[in-house]
Amino acid sequence: LGMDDYPLRGLFWVRLSLKDDSKKTVFFSTAHFPWVGSETEIQTGVNQRIPAALKVCEHLRRLVPVQEAAVFAGDLNEDFHPVRILAEECAFIDVFESLDLAPPITHPVRPSDPLEEQRPNRTLDWILCSLPIQCRVVAAFAKTIRGGGRPPSDHLPVIAVLEIA
């Protein structure tokens, strides 16, 4: 995806077929975009998530046939441009929007580092999909972390349930 500060990050994907009908497939993909404080973004003042989202769309247009169910999920580290670009360029919709729900706060998980509290309560993690008419999003939520001690991540996991027909 050409992310200068993270050369090993990219678009990871898999195409799975339904057990009952191998001609029906679902395309799943993920990426981890740079955060707003990445070195390149600080030096250049250029939002690194915009070109990353455009490159994801370029790959998705090449990899996903028009009528195939497709899911893209990831830590996009932003709540505006990547979601907007995937909607405009690839007709992807946020799973919460498809259910007429507000997206949940996914960052930070508490207890958090004091630096994380400088920009608290943001939605940075997303699941977006492009589904044929016979498929739908059934449920979506951010899993709250329970228990003591330090959380395993500073982001909440986002979960969606899809009906693929």
Which uninterrupted H or E stretch holds 125?
strand 125-130
User: What's the pLDDT score for residue 124?
Assistant: 97
Would you say 80 and 39 are in contact if contact means Cβ atoms under 8 Å apart?
no
Give the pLDDT confidence score for residue 152 in this predicted structure.
82
Length of the chain: 165
Q: Is 14 helix (H, G, I), strand (E, B) or coil?
A: strand
- pLDDT number for residue 115: 82
- DSSP H helices, the chain, are 39-44, 49-63, 81-90, 95-98
Mean pLDDT by 10 residues, the chain (165 residues): 92 95 95 94 95 98 96 97 98 98 94 83 97 96 80 90 93
The pTM of this model reads 0.93
Q: Would strands 93-94 and 125-130 be described as parallel, antiparallel, or unpaired?
A: antiparallel
DSSP 32-74: EPPPTT-HHHHHH---THHHHHHHHHHHHHHHS-TTSEEEEEE
